[in-house]
Copies of this chain bind each other. A is one copy, B any other.
Amino acid sequence: MNKQISANRRATSYDVARAAGVSQSAVSRCFAPGGSIAPATRERVLKAAAELGYRPNALAQGLISGRTKLIAVLIASHTNRFYPEVLDELTHRLTERDMRVLLFALRSESEVDAILDQVWRHSVDGVISAARLSDAQLQMFEQHRIPVVLYNRSANAVSSASVCCDSAAGERDLVTRLLSAGHQRFGIIAGPEDSFVGEERRRAAIDRLADAGINDVPVIRGDFGYESGGDGARELLGTDPAIEALICVSDQMAIGAIDVARQQFNRSIPEDLSIVGFDGSDPATWLSYQVTSIRQPVRRMTEATVAMLSDLIEDPEAAGEKRLFAGQLIEGRSARLGTP
């Protein structure tokens, strides 16, 4: 019994080679970037390939060449939930550069190890992480020359490549403006303790307030989402009705706070209470809220991220660069702002 091609087996380069009357390696060269092949041969091969519906097998290519064009994208679930622009932009820019996205959404820190195990097994060419990685985990990648670019978080010990929005500067800017508008009593609605950007913003706010001689500012922690922003506002305003400004580390929490302040505490925003957010996400610009916030330059940041990753893949010895983008103040209408 000869080797039957069962009707639905996918065509291999051998099938194409046989059909075109050339060797298998000729077929391979046909689909390679700079493969030397005679125009006539090339045409015959491509014709046969088209007829058979042949497409190079990415697994085999990756296995032999050591290049998979696969990029692992790690992102905290809440980031995509509350700020979907990031993943969307990243995915598109990667696709544009002929790379594929292996997506991992993290609901908690504890999942990271299991996920890195998978990342590792799949021989990805690079990693973009919008989730926190430990130094040990980063070292693991560095050791094996797998480029990693951190998105909106940076490592302390290991010198890894990263693209960040300058949360601290942005938050300081916001607080400075609130101070110069005369606000004296503040409340902070922060993020979870394990959030890098959340903590960065919280600290920046507290430090700036301390510089102005304001200490012991009450802090409530939320999860970046709408509900938790409302809860935070309820608790802060309930405890101290004299609070004049609420500093929220995300737009969705600011929005939740605005709704609760207006509807349950009967405050006019910003006349009776200033509320600021952070991110510049879509809903923050909606007419009902117009949150005073800091917009992250997502497009430039994602562009920088994949550009940097591409470069590192080309030259794995290149040093990891840290790029810091300034956020842009959105005045909005949810806070009374003074001059910088």
Contact = CB atoms under 8 A, between A and B. Distances in A.
Interface of A: 8, 10, 55-60, 62-63, 68, 73, 77, 80-81, 84-85, 87-88, 91-92, 95, 100-105, 107, 115, 117-118, 120-123, 143-145, 225-226, 230, 255-256, 258-260, 262-263, 282-283, 286-289
Count of chain copies: 2
Contacts of A60: 63
Contacts of A92: 77, 105, 107
A103 B103 contact: yes
B102 A58 contact: no
A59 B62 contact: yes
Given A55-B117, A80-B84, A101-B104, 18 more contacts: A8-B144, A55-B121, A58-B123, A59-B63, A59-B123, A81-B88, A88-B105, A91-B103, A91-B104, A92-B107, A95-B115, A102-B102, A103-B103, A226-B282, A255-B286, A258-B288, A263-B287, A288-B288
A58 B105 contact: no
17 contacts: A58-B121, A59-B59, A80-B88, A81-B85, A84-B84, A91-B104, A95-B104, A225-B282, A226-B282, A226-B283, A230-B287, A258-B288, A259-B287, A259-B288, A263-B287, A283-B283, A288-B288
A115 B96 CA distance: 11
A8 B143 contact: yes
A175 to B, nearest CB: 26
A88 B77 contact: yes
Contact of A100 (B56, B107, B122): B122
A135 B259 CA distance: 47
Contacts of A80: 80, 84, 87-88
Contacts of A120: 55
A86 to B, nearest CB: 11
A143 B255 CA distance: 50
Contacts of A258: 288
B105 A103 contact: no
Contact of A226 (B73, B144, B286): B286
Contacts of A100: 102, 118, 122
A80 B282 CA distance: 13
B84 A122 contact: no
Contacts of A122: 58-59, 100
A80 B120 CA distance: 27
A123 B58 CA distance: 8
A180 to B, nearest CB: 29
Contacts of A10: 144
A284 to B, nearest CB: 11
Contacts of A57: 63, 121, 123
A87 B80 CA distance: 9
Nearest to A62: B59
